[in-house]
Structure 1
């Protein structure tokens, strides 16, 4: 491109020189005097060489100035082109970098989202495993608890049944002992009445036995028998009023603890029923009681 512009400048310079020469020739005076009859006379205007040199110098200076101006223009064009190219490259690099940054950011975002999804999935799986484990453990605990409760219930039931049996047995034994003791208590009365004989004596004996059974039942309901009483004995004297009130209960002999329990049972009754027959009442006013559980 630079060589073409230089050729164009040379052509312009030659054209200017040709035009200058034509103008110089045009200014010369080529006239012929027809009034001179004799000879051939040529009259011409002479051109000053100094002027021609000066003009030539001017042309050369103009050519040089034009060449320098063209060169300066070319330099400016090249500088502008280089600057534009540099700017273009910088812009292209900036765009490329923006695209690269965008791609990197998008990749990082995708990686972060992928990592987050992975962590969420892992968290869900861990939660599911923990819940399943907790469910299994809870079920195992519930089964163990149910088995323990069933076992405890069975054992409690067995103990309750055994206790009930033992209590029934103890109660039966105590009842038997109380019955035997009360029977002993009234055996003396029955024997005494039996000795009297006769119909009247038999009637009194039957009444004493009947009321004795009533007294025995009333005392038995209030007598508390303890296992420590086994093998022990207590003899009491029970004194009643004519209407059956307990006037006094005294210990004749025997185990003090057992006697206290027997006296307490008598005092809790406090009043025994009395028959209308005074002979029977007389037999019931003083009773010797032997308690042997």
Structure 2
């Protein structure tokens, strides 16, 4: 390109010189007279040196202008080349950063999955321990009850034997009358004891049936209250206020609030409500990846039982939808969550 422009400048210069020669020839007088000359006469047109200098100066200026234009064009090409190189490097850096972010997000996702599996395993182990403990307590209560009943029977038997001895002695002294009376009393005592044992068994069965019925009713009541209170449990998902003013900051804040409402609804659907939560409060911090995966749920303050239920609901959701706007995503990566029945 540079060689072509130089050739173009040379052509222009040659054309200007040719034009000057034509003008000089045009100014000369080439007319002929048929009359016989009376002597040797030479007619010539004088060339103004000032005009030649002026034309030469114009040619030099045109060459200088062409040279400066060529230099300016070269400068622009160099600037464009530098700008393209800078843009290429920036694009390469952006691609490298995107790859690094993707790898980091994948790593965070794997860590979150491992953490979730560990928490689920711990929850299963805790449930198994609680069930084993409940069975052990029930067995201990049953054994204690059996021992108490056996002791009561042994004491009753001992008293009966002692009284029988006293009565046997009285019977022996009273002879036939005492023996007859002792038989009557022994029979009466045996009947009374049989009735007492039957009544004790009936009372124990009635108590067990009543307890089972009361437990079933309590579970049914708790389930009904849980279903009724499910939609009123959450006090709201609080997104951070926009730090910058103007329309863009308001748009980011509005988008964060809108996605926060979506998150709230998703968590509500997973939350298990208990009657004991009424009047309690729990503050959590929820951290998400750029893809919406749950990375961590931390308890800040509040009722431990309610917080465990809220954490479980968040982990069951596992992944939340994320917007396309990176500024909104940044605000949603750490959320203050308040649960208050």
TM range (shorter): 0.3 to 0.5
State the distance in 1 between where 2:248 and 2:82 align. Answer: 163
In the superposition, the TM-score normalised over structure 2's length comes to: 0.38
Task: Provide the rounded CA distance (Å) in 1 between the counterparts of 2:226 and 2:272.
Answer: 10
User: Is the Cα–Cα contact under 8 Å of residues 116 and 315 in structure 2 kept in the other structure?
Assistant: no
Please tell me whether the aligned partners of residues 256 and 328 of structure 2 are also in contact (alpha carbons under 8 angstroms).
Answer: yes
1:61 is displaced (CA, Å) by: 1.8
Say if 2:240 and 2:331, in contact at 8 Å, map to a contact too: no
Q: Quote how far apart the aligned CAs of 1:55 are.
A: 1.9
Contact 2:292 2:319 in 1 (8 A): yes
Q: What are the superposed Cα offsets for residues 97-121 of structure 1, whole Å, 9 maximum, x if unpaired? A: 3564355345424533442342233
The answer on whether the counterparts of 2:105 and 2:290 sit within 8 Å (CA) in structure 1 is no
**Structure 2 match to 1:99:** 99
Task: After superposing the two structures, state which structure 1 stretch, 165-174 or 267-276, moved more.
Answer: 267-276
Q: SS at 1:61's partner residue? A: helix
Q: 5+ residue gaps in structure 1?
A: none
CA RMSD of aligned residues (A): 49.5
Question: 1:117-163 CA deviation, whole Å, 9 max, x = no partner?
Answer: 42233222232233234424533553454355435534543443499
Per the alignment, in what secondary structure is the counterpart of residue 296 of structure 2? strand
Select between 282-291 and 131-140 the one with higher mean Cα deviation: 282-291
* Structure 2 unaligned residues grouped into runs of 5+: 162-209
Counterpart of 1:48 in structure 2 is: 48
Contact 2:242–2:252 under 8 Å retained in 1: no
Q: 1:264–1:29: structure 2 CA closer, same or farther, 3 Å change rule? A: closer
Shift of 1:63: 0.6
Shift of 1:59: 0.7
CA distance in 1, matches of 2:117, 2:302: 93
Task: Tell me if the contact between 1:190 and 1:208 (Cα under 8 Å) persists in the aligned partners.
Answer: no
Deviates more, 1:53-62 or 1:126-135: 126-135
Q: How many residues align?
A: 293
Equivalent residues of 1:185, 1:290 under 8 A apart: no
Larger Rg: 1
Aligned to 2:73: 73
The question of 1:226 aligning with 2:277 is answered no
User: Do the aligned partners of 2:271 and 2:312 also contact (CA within 8 Å) in 1?
Assistant: yes
Change in 2 beyond 3 A, CA 1:119/1:55: same
**Distance in 2 (alpha carbons) for counterparts of 1:73 and 1:200:** 41
Larger displacement relative to structure 2 (55-64 or 111-120): 111-120
